[in-house]
Amino acid sequence: MHQDPSCKGAHRPEVEQIMADIFNTQDMSKFDLFRKLMKVSNLLSHLASEYREDVKLSPARMRLLIRLAVSDRMGNDQGLLPSELSRFLGVSRNTVSALLNGLEEQGLIERHLHPTDRRQFLIRITPGGHDLVCARAPEFGAFVASMFEVLSLEERATLLALLDKLYESLRDQAAAMGLFVPGTEPEVSTQST
């Protein structure tokens, strides 16, 4: 099926009408937004994964390392609880446990018993983890910046504001449905008082 390049992915009018009938709507623009946001999200994830392929470090593992490096630079030499890292990534505790096991095998993190609750472990970044973050984060920062060079400063600000607005609405919808929304639990401090 040939599409007019000026349509940038738009369906032919007869396809658009059939889809509108199937979805029982006359306004397919919301479906177009949904589809395009999913395509952009998937492509961003794919590009980020491929970029880090050479160091065998998934985007989730790198995000954990950066979170630990930030915590360490902020003076938290104790480390973070796995549950905090789970909330940070918005994944289950089992998933974060698997990610931490991989990082530990690579020598990038270490586990230590919690000083006041011996049933828990705290996670800290190792010097090797710091070295990796210091070497790779600036390169990845430049890579991310290059992906958004097509947008002007004003366009980026507008897009950020629109995405924030959309996220807040989706978060509220999920909460109204009784769904867990990753990243919305209150932060728990590991600092002793």
Q: Does a structural domain hold residue 71?
A: yes
pLDDT at residue 182 tops 70: no
Among residues 156, 176, 130, 139, the alpha carbon closest in space to that of 51 is found at: 139
Q: Does a structural domain hold residue 105?
A: yes
Mean pLDDT (whole number) for 168-191: 72
> What's the pLDDT at 190?
40
Record the tokens describing residue 70, joined without a space.
């930030």
> What's the pLDDT at 103?
95
Residue 133's region, left for phi above 0, alpha for psi from -120 to 50, else beta, is alpha
Work out whether strand 109-113 and strand 121-125 pair parallel, antiparallel, or are unpaired: antiparallel
Q: Does a structural domain hold residue 73?
A: yes
- pLDDT tens digits for range 38-94: 999 999 888 877 766 666 778 788 889 999 999 999 999 899 999 999 988 888 889
Q: Does a structural domain hold residue 94?
A: yes
Q: Does a structural domain hold residue 160?
A: no
Domain count along the chain:
1
29-51 and 59-73 are packed helices; what angle lies between their axes, rounded to 10 degrees?
A: 80
Q: Does a structural domain hold residue 104?
A: yes
Q: Does a structural domain hold residue 43?
A: no
Termini Cα distance of the chain: 66
Record the tokens describing residue 62, joined without a space.
């790198």
What is the identity of the amino acid at 172? D
Q: Does a structural domain hold residue 66?
A: yes
**In degrees, to the nearest 5, what angle opens at C-alpha 143 toward C-alphas 39 and 37?**
15
Write the CATH number for 87: 1.10.10.10
The residue range of the domain holding 108 is: 56-128
> What's the pLDDT at 155?
97
- pLDDT tens digits for range 104-155: 999 999 999 999 988 899 999 999 999 999 998 898 889 889 999 999 999 9
